[in-house]
Amino acid sequence: MKTAAKKNTPKLVAKNAGRSVTEKNKDFDSVKMMRQIRDKLSKEIMDMTFEEENAYLQKLLAKK
């Protein structure tokens, strides 16, 4: 009797809300980057008035 070939799957680490969380080697961490961008932006606009903040954000959006 032949056995099925073992698939090369990531090691199961935990279950989270019904979804499997697996170990993976990540070259890019999108959540970490999003948090860094958000924190940098928060520091830049922390002491601005609403009008200054609005002008700053409009200027940033105009660059795109």
Burial of 56 (0-12, 13-18, 19+ CB in 10 A): middle
Residue whose C-alpha is closest to residue 22's, from 13, 32, 30: 13
Task: State residue 21 phi and psi, 5-degree precision.
Answer: -105, 120
Query: Which one has a higher pLDDT value, 5 or 62?
Result: 62
Question: Which whole number is the average pLDDT over 25-41?
Answer: 91
- Is residue 22 predicted with pLDDT exceeding 70? no
Q: Domain limits at 28?
A: 12-62
- Per the domain annotation, does 5 fall within a domain? no
Query: Which one has a higher pLDDT value, 4 or 64?
Result: 64
Question: Which whole number is the average pLDDT over 3-25?
Answer: 61
pLDDT (0 to 100) of residue 28: 85
Q: Does the predicted model carry a pTM greater than 0.75?
A: no
- Per the domain annotation, does 39 fall within a domain? yes
Question: Which whole number is the average pLDDT over 35-47?
Answer: 95
Number of domains in the chain: 1
- Per the domain annotation, does 1 fall within a domain? no
